[in-house]
Amino acid sequence: MNDTRPMIEVRGARKFFGPLEVLKGIDFSVARGQIVAVIGPSGSGKSTLLRSINHLETLDGGEVWLDGVQVNQKLDRRSFERHINGVRQQMGMVFQHFNLFPHLNVAENITIAPIKLKGMAKAEARALALKMLDKVGLADKIDAFPARLSGGQKQRVAIARALAMQPKVMLFDEATSALDPELVDEVNLVMKQLASEHMTMVIVTHEMRFAAEVADRVIFMADGAVVEEGSPAEFFRNPKQERTRSFLKKFLNG
Partner 1 sequence: MQGLDFSIVPEYWPLIGKGLWWTVVISTASAVLSVLAGIGFALLVLYASPVVRYPVRLFMWLFMGTPLLLQLFLIYFGLVQIGIDIPAIWSGIIALSLHFAVYNADIFRAGIAALDKGQTEAARSLGFGAWRTRIYIVVPQAVRGTVPAVGNMMIALLKESSIVSMIGIAELVHSAQLVISETYRPFEFYLTAAALYYGLNLILEAVLRGIERKVELSR
Ligand X SMILES: Nc1ncnc2c1ncn2[C@@H]1O[C@H](COP(=O)(O)OP(=O)(O)OP(=O)(O)O)[C@@H](O)[C@H]1O
What are the Cα distances from residue 32, in Å, to 111, 168, 169? 26, 9, 9
Decide if residue 47 touches ligand X (CB under 6 A).
yes
Of the candidate residues 47, 105, 153, 176, the single one contacting Mg ion (CB under 5 A) = 47
Please give the C-alpha separations between residue 9 and each of 27, 56, 110, in angstroms, as whole numbers: 8, 16, 28
Q: For residue 36, list its beta bridge partners.
A: 202, 217
Q: Is 48 in the site for ligand X (CB under 6 A)?
A: yes
User: Does 17 interact with ligand X (rule: CB under 6 A)?
Assistant: yes
| Beta strands per DSSP E along 124-196 | 169-173
Q: Could you tell me the smallest distance in angstroms from the CB atom of residue 46 to Mg ion?
A: 5
Q: Cα(168)–Cα(183) distance, rounded to whole angstroms?
A: 27
Q: For residues 68 and 29, is the Cβ–Cβ distance under 8 A?
A: no
Question: What's the closest the beta carbon of residue 4 comes to partner 1, in angstroms?
Answer: 27
Q: What are phi and psi of 42, to 5 degrees?
A: -60, 135
DSSP bridge partners of 59: none
Q: Does 147 bind partner 1 (CB under 8 A)?
A: yes
**Site for ligand X contains 22 (CB under 6 A):** yes
44 makes contact, choosing from Mg ion, ligand X, partner 1, none, with CB < 5 to 8 Å by partner type, with ligand X
Helix axis angle, 122-135 to 151-163, nearest 10°: 130
> For residues 158 and 99, is the Cβ–Cβ distance under 8 A?
yes
What angle (nearest 5°) sits at the alpha carbon of residue 86, between those of residues 53 and 91? 40
248 interface partner picked from ligand X, partner 1, Mg ion, none, CB below 5 to 8 A per type: none
By CB under 8 A, tell whether 34 contacts partner 1: no
CB-based contact 15:48 (threshold 8 Å): yes
When the beta carbons of 111 and 188 are compared against partner 1, the nearer one is 111
| Smallest separation, CB 17 to ligand X (Å) | 3
Contact present, 208 and 39 (Cβ < 8 Å):
yes
- Residue 46 within binding range of ligand X, rule CB under 6 A: yes
Judged by beta carbon, residue 42 or residue 196, the one nearer ligand X is 42
Tell me: does residue 81 bind partner 1 (CB under 8 A): yes
- Which of Mg ion, partner 1, ligand X, none does residue 7 bind (CB under 5 to 8 Å by kind)? none
Q: Would you say 82 or 97 has its CB closer to Mg ion?
A: 97
What's the min distance (Å) between Cβ of 134 and Mg ion? 30
Stretch of 28-36, 44-52, 162-170, 211-219 lying at the interface with ligand X (CB under 6 A): 44-52
- Binding of residue 73 to partner 1 (CB under 8 A): no
Q: Which residues bind Mg ion (CB under 5 A)?
A: 47
